Each structure stands twice: as C-alpha cells, then as structure tokens.
C-alpha cells in the first residue's frame, strides 16, 4: 500500500520536518492542528479549540470527508486545570463540531506546545 503525504498550506501549513497528514489505505493520520495563524492564536482555550477543529474540518473537506469520518482524536493541552475550568464551553465546541457523534478522544496534559501562546493541539485519525 502506498503512503500519500498530504499538505494543506492554505489551511494549516507545517514546518520543514513533517507533513500535515499521511494517508495510508483507508486511514489518514493528521499531525497536530492548532490555532496558529488564526485570530484565535493566543486567546482562550475555547477559541483555540474551535479554530483547530475548524482547520481539521476544512482539511477533511479537501479530502471529501467530514468530521463524522474521524475515528480518533488526541487532544494535548498545556493546562488541564484551564481545560476543566472551561470544560462546558469546550464541550459545546465539540458538540457543534461533531453533531453529538463523537470519536474516541484522549486528553493529555503537556508542559508546552511548539509555539508560545498555544494552549491546545489536536491530532486526528480519519477512516474513509
């Protein structure tokens, strides 16, 4: 099976050492997506979550897929307490993005993300 390396520079550009996604058969593994390059960058975790999910949705649109095709997310946050404080609002962002049909998701607290001002990063695995 061929691995197709995918880039979406108009939606979520990447750095020089990785690609945005790799499609392998009926699966696509998406690198972490953040609010970097959006008006939500440096704002609340809720705003950043919404921006990251919007980027993911736009990438999926380029692949003729939808949020319903996501089978697994991994969500990294720099402050779990901040996440908990705004959990109801974040849950509303998730509910809107997934219409109540949620994928598996892991929440992982990390010391930092790649750029200062980022508080959340989301990876996705998509099934076609």
Q: What is the CATH number of the domain that holds 56?
A: 3.30.1330.40
* pLDDT on residue 67: 98
* pLDDT on residue 15: 87
* pLDDT on residue 126: 98
Closest CA to 30 of 127, 110, 123: 123
- Domain extent, residue 99, equals 3-127
Count how many domains the chain has.
1
**Given the structure tokens 């550009």, which residue do they identify?**
13
Alpha-carbon gap, residue 63 to 76, rounded angstroms: 24
Mean pLDDT by groups of 10 residues along the chain of 128 residues: 96 93 98 98 98 98 98 98 96 95 97 97 98
């Amino acid at each position: 099976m061929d691995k197709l390396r995918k880039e979406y520079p108009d939606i979520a550009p990447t750095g020089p050492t990785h690609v945005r996604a790799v499609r392998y058969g009926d699966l696509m593994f998406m690198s972490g997506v953040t609010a970097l390059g959006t008006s939500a960058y440096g704002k609340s975790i809720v705003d950043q979550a919404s921006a990251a999910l919007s980027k993911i949705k736009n990438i999926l649109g380029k692949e003729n897929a939808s949020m319903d095709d996501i089978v697994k997310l991994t969500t990294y946050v720099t402050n779990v307490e901040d996440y908990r404080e705004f959990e109801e609002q974040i849950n509303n962002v998730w509910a809107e993005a997934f219409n109540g049909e949620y994928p598996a998701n892991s929440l992982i607290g990390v010391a930092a993300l790649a750029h200062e001002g980022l508080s959340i990063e989301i990876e996705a695995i998509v099934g076609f």
